[in-house]
Structure 1
Amino acid sequence: MTIWVNEQIDPSGMIHACIACCDEQQAKDCHESYEKNLTDFQKESGWIARLRTVDSWDEVPVNSLKLD
């Protein structure tokens, strides 16, 4: 099973928003939204929107919204 994890991460590495799901298209749409929602100031400061995959729900950050 592939689980798609979307994260918005600040310059210190802290995750501020995280959504995980098994649907690739939904994950890509979410990632695009995360990218668009970062302000220019946030991007210049080092914020990133990251999309990654994991193989188990145990690898998903605890504070994430988990969509099945």
Structure 2
Amino acid sequence: MTIWVNEQIDPSGLIYSCIATCNEDQAKDCHESFESNLTDVQKSAGWVARLRKVTSWDEVPVNALKLD
């Protein structure tokens, strides 16, 4: 099983928001949204939008919105 994890991470490394799904298309749409919602000021300060794959729900951060 592949689970797609979208994260917006602040400059200190804390996860600001997180959405996880098994649907690749949803994950890519969400990542584009996360990326486009970061302002230039946030990006220059070190905010990042990250999309990663995991193989178990145990690897998804606890605070994630989980779409299945």
Structure 1, unmatched stretches of 5+, are: none
Give the unaligned 5+ runs of structure 2.
Answer: none
Using the aligned pairs only, state the percent identity: 78
The total of aligned residue pairs comes to: 68
Shift of the alpha carbon at 1:21?
Answer: 0.1
**Deviation above 3 Å: which 4+ runs of structure 1?**
none
Q: Within 5 Å, which residues of 2 pair with 1:1-68?
A: 1-68=1-68
The offset of 1:52, in angstroms, is 0.0
The normalised TM-score by structure 1 is 0.99
Shift of 1:5: 0.1
TM-score (norm 2): 0.99
For 1:9 and 1:35, the matched residues in 2 are separated by 11
Q: CA RMSD in A?
A: 0.3
Report the alpha carbon displacement of residue 43 of structure 1 after superposing the two structures with TM.
Answer: 0.2
